[in-house]
Structure 1
Amino acid sequence: MYEVKVPILGFDKIKYMNIEKLDKDFSILQIDEKDNTNMHMISSNSIKSFDIEFDESFLKKMQIDEDTKISFYFSIVINNPVANSVVNLTAPVVINEDKKLLGQYIIKKSTSFFTTMSELSI
């Protein structure tokens, strides 16, 4: 279970969430267990050459420093066929693995907002 330090857009009142890893690339963020609200996500490790600079305010809220083990994920809207599924590159979910903290970071200076699974070549 992860404590939410920076809310997921639209779910400001949820204080704890869980992540279910499906495999090395894909996970499900369990947002609201009572309502069975979930978000499909892809690991940043699956996306080549994607760097993010987090602002100091976000790093402080998430208690992240240069030694913190972090991971981050991008949300996916699943389509049929799966290759046409849309990946949101502007609002990753960031995890402080050391302290079990979670937050969503909105990238303000993004040049690429969305892409498809086929464009990522996963």
Structure 2
Amino acid sequence: MYNVVLPIAGFEDFKSLKVEKIDDFASFLVFDEKTKIAVVNINYLNKVKFDFQIDQEVLKKMNINSKDDFDIYFCVVSQEPVENSIINLVSPIFINEKDKLVGQYITVEKVDPLFASIKECAKL
């Protein structure tokens, strides 16, 4: 189990969850037997440029001291076909695998676009 140290939008009442890996890029955040959300690793979006600052309070709560301490994921809303699935680019999910910590960070920097399909991310 992972401790949720930064609330996840829409799931604020959950204090812990499981991370269910699908492959190297995709996972599910499993809150309970009926509630899970799909996330995709930032490395899957290798053509998309991300540049945002993480404030010190968040770094402390997530026990992040270097880039090696965590992975960045983005929430995915599945669509048919899968290339049309929508990725939320403005509020990444941080996962600290070593300390089993999870949290969502809302960026303050302008991110363009805020949301994009998987197909669009391949072109950004």
TM-score, normalized by length of structure 2? 0.88
Task: Verify the 8 A CA contact 2:21 2:28 in the aligned structure 1.
Answer: yes
User: Partner residue of 1:120?
Assistant: 121
Tell me: CA distance 1:89–1:67, structure 2 relative to 1, closer, same or farther (3 Å). closer
**In the aligned structure 1, how far is the partner of 2:89 from the partner of 2:8?**
14
User: Partner residue of 1:106?
Assistant: 106
Aligned: 1:18 with 2:18: yes
**In the aligned structure 1, how far is the partner of 2:86 from the partner of 2:55?**
26
TM-score, normalized by length of structure 1? 0.89
Q: Where in structure 2 are there 5+ consecutive unaligned residues?
A: none
Q: Where in structure 1 are there 5+ consecutive unaligned residues?
A: none
Identity rate, percent? 37
User: Partner residue of 1:40?
Assistant: 38
**In the aligned structure 2, how far is the partner of 1:81 from the partner of 1:91?**
24
Cα deviation code 1:14-56 (max 9, x no counterpart)? 111111111111111102x14x111011101111232332111
Q: CA RMSD in A?
A: 1.7
How many residue pairs end up in the alignment? 120
Task: Verify the 8 A CA contact 2:52 2:109 in the aligned structure 1.
Answer: no
